[in-house]
Structure 1
């Protein structure tokens, strides 16, 4: 599927220059009677929205799929150059601003009382950081557990999230996004004698079956990736803040949205441990679902879209039951 890339212009912070985010959009579904579902997908580190192209083509015909490139990646504004502690909130506002753009400028349907329509936000790998931070804002809108510019008016963003946000999905979140200590495998990458941008793929790529590794190239975007690593939720100086953001969001999931966690059993330890940590904090909250894909790896959304997409569609359907179906729900097995 060839996709057409466009640019969204956002001006979230009064007095600051607008930012630009490149994105692709499969467009409004045709001949659909009920409000359609919109998925906004957020890519990970050293990749871009192209990581979602294979999956976008396989979702149901009543799904509109939109993926944007975060700051610093192809077609988008440069990385945030301020303090790392401030970047936590800035990147969350980028995501909230893009959701608002999709709702208001692209005119996607709001969710109705039966859970039809609306927006499902799905983060992958480091893209789960802004998704997690958005969740913490919804859990504590009056006292967000991160800094925001004093000139920012949150109300327009909160209003859009109230009318449009249906679910949040965390796919393969790494420990950096929640402030976990390094696992031995990742510590070896950090402490390697090789440059990080050589050691990092040498650690991850071998988990992908050799015959499928060529599929990763479409999404590789490393030109400015080194800045992404140091500025956003990866510096150990903000480890405690990352953990606090995650704790607030995961323990108090708002009742009017669902949160889904999904990771691959064959993934790296750094992500398997993070999945277990998040699952424990989600606990038995009735509007959350935890799923594990047998086998698989960190790039499953790229190489095995025919398995990944049904897993995500099933997860969304289960979240719909839990959020919009009255009465007690028996927790599903992991």
Structure 2
């Protein structure tokens, strides 16, 4: 499926300069008589939304609408946030909340009904889970968000759209940056390698992917400005306590109006396996949450095994629907 790229213009903080996010949209699914589900997906580090292309085409064929955008700094979108690192967590969350408002207002995404049909499922992958988890913390504590936000910002326009349209949040393969975990030995070796980071990083990740499938990884590589993305979301270890606090607030008290799904892969890197275990412990036995482990899966499973990935996510959404909406 050829992707039809467009550009969204957002003003997440009134009075500040607008930002632009490049995105693709598979459109209203054909032949769906009831309210359809829209998935809005967020990519990871050194890739772009094209990482979802194979999965998006399968989702579209099975009755979903699939939308994915390039985060700030990636191809066709505005430059990275240049303000203080401590403010970036909140700013990137507002980017996502603003994109949800754009999708509802400009792309006519239907709201969810009392049975949970329709609405939006937010799905982050790898570093893209950070803004999803931060948004969850806002929903868990809307009166006292555990993040730095612009003074005087009125959150009610964001919250009203989230309550009418957001159905579930999915965290696929979150890394340790998103929760402030100490570096695992393998990742520490990458950070302190004598090789350039953008050489050492893929050399660490790619061996987890079966050799015959590695050719599928190059389609969405987007490293032109990736190093500017590296300090954001705690990769410089400046705000790990804040990040852990954000995660704790959101994960331990998931609002009953939404479902949260965690998907992690059995043969992924330890950095993600440890994170998955940390998150699963905090989700605990909350009735509106679900943890799935993909046996034999790896960090790029959404790109290399798209049919199986789509089947897993569709099943997760169906089970969360039962838990949240009965």
Aligned counterpart, 1:328: none
Question: In the aligned structure 2, how far is the partner of 1:188 from the partner of 1:85?
Answer: 26
Query: Would you say 1:3 and 2:14 are equivalent positions?
Result: no
Q: Tell me if the contact between 1:12 and 1:152 (Cα under 8 Å) persists in the aligned partners.
A: no
Q: Does the 8 Å CA contact 2:174/2:276 hold for their aligned counterparts?
A: yes
Paired residue total? 325
Root-mean-square deviation (CA, aligned residues, Å) is: 0.8
Structure 2 equivalent of residue 290 of structure 1: 291
User: More displaced, 252-261 or 203-212?
Assistant: 203-212
Which residue number in structure 2 is paired with residue 132 of structure 1?
A: 133
Corresponding residue SS for 1:7:
strand
CA distance in 2, matches of 1:232, 1:245: 11
Q: Aligned partners of 1:132 and 1:73: how far apart in 2?
A: 21
Which residue in 2 is equivalent to 1:104?
A: 105
Shift of 1:232: 3.0
Q: Which residue of 1 aligns with 2:27?
A: 27
User: TM-score normalized by structure 2?
Assistant: 0.99
Matches within 5 A, 1:262-273: 262-273=263-274
SS in 2 for 1:57: helix
- How many Å separate the matches in 1 of 2:155 and 2:76? 26
8 A Cα contact 2:177 2:233, kept in partner: no
Q: Distance in 1 between matches of 2:129 and 2:74?
A: 16
Structure 2 CA distance, aligned partners of 1:10 and 1:306?
33
Do 1:129 and 1:233's aligned partners in 2 also have CA atoms closer than 8 Å? no
Per the TM alignment, residue 231 of structure 1 is displaced from its structure 2 partner at its CA by: 2.6
**Which residue does the alignment assign to 1:223?**
224
Corresponding residue of 1:330: none
In structure 1, C-alpha distance between the alignment counterparts of 2:207 and 2:29, rounded to whole Å: 38
CA positional deviation for 1:295? 0.7
Residue aligning to 2:65:
64
Q: 1:111 Cα shift? A: 0.2
How far the C-alpha of 1:62 sits from its partner, in A, is: 2.0
* Superimposed CA distance per residue, residues 174-204 of structure 1 (whole angstroms, 9 cap, x where no aligned partner): 0001000011111111111111111101100
Aligned-partner Cα distance in 1 for 2:234–2:63: 35
Gaps of 5+ in 2: none
TM-score relative to the length of structure 1: 0.96
SS of 1:75 mapped into structure 2: coil
Q: Following TM superposition, by how much is the alpha carbon of 1:144 offset from its aligned partner in structure 2, in angstroms?
A: 0.4
1:97-176 to 2 correspondences below 5 Å = 97-176=98-177
| Residue 253 of structure 2 corresponds to residue 235 of structure 1 | no
Q: What is the correspondence of 1:33-112 to structure 2 with a 5 Å cutoff?
A: 33-59=33-59, 60-112=61-113
What is the distance in 2 between the residues matched to 1:266 and 1:61?
A: 28
Q: For the residues of structure 2 that align with 1:296 and 1:30, how far apart are their CA atoms?
A: 31
Q: Deviations over 1:29-73 (max 9, x none)?
A: 123211100000000000000000000111253210000000000
Deviation at 1:235, TM superposition (A): 2.1
Mapped to 2, the partners of 1:206 and 1:90 lie a distance apart of 34
Q: Distance in 2 between matches of 1:262 and 1:61?
A: 20
Tell me how far apart the structure 2 counterparts of residues 248 and 151 of structure 1 sit (CA, whole Å). Answer: 22
Query: How many Å separate the matches in 2 of 1:32 and 1:173?
Result: 32
Bigger shift: residues 220-229 or 60-69: 60-69
Unaligned runs of 5+ in 1: 326-334
SS at match of 2:290: strand
Distance in 1, matches of 2:100 and 2:75, equals 19
Flag as ranges the 4+ runs of structure 1 deviating above 3 A. Answer: none
Equivalents in 1 of 2:232, 2:244: separation in Å?
Answer: 16
